[in-house]
Amino acid sequence: MTRRVCRVAAGGEGATYARCVRQACIRTHELKRHLAGVSSKMLTQTLREPERHGIVHREDYGEVPPRVEYRLTTLGRSLSTLVVNIEDWVTTHYSRMTSEAKRYDAA
């Protein structure tokens, strides 16, 4: 169970989508716009796990056409802070990491 929760919190598309939601409520089509190439079906499926673990809240208004909004929960906002710190770290160290990988692969 711990591994599954870690996957939801730290990796995969769920964390990527959670980053997009961190500012406020966001509708499905707006979220898709931020994530080019993702179908509505894949977006919904991927967000189910963070929703299940209390990171993302999904609000379905039951309207036609469908109106669904996502927002981070308190737990999700605390995770978002960590994700932003990791993104900053990767941005700062990306060049060094790719250089090290090239050096390793060449050996």
The CA distance from 96 to 107, in Å, is: 17
* pTM of this structure: 0.66
Q: Is the per-residue pLDDT at 64 higher than 80?
A: yes
Give the residue numbers spanning the domain of 6.
2-106
Give the pLDDT band of residue 27 (cuts 50, 70, 90): confident
Q: How many residues does the chain have?
A: 107
Q: CATH number of the domain that 65 lies in?
A: 1.10.10.10
If one counts the domains in the chain, the total is 1
Task: Kindly list the distances between the CA atom of residue 5 and the CA atoms of 9, 43, 54, in Å, as whole numbers in the listed order.
Answer: 6, 19, 11
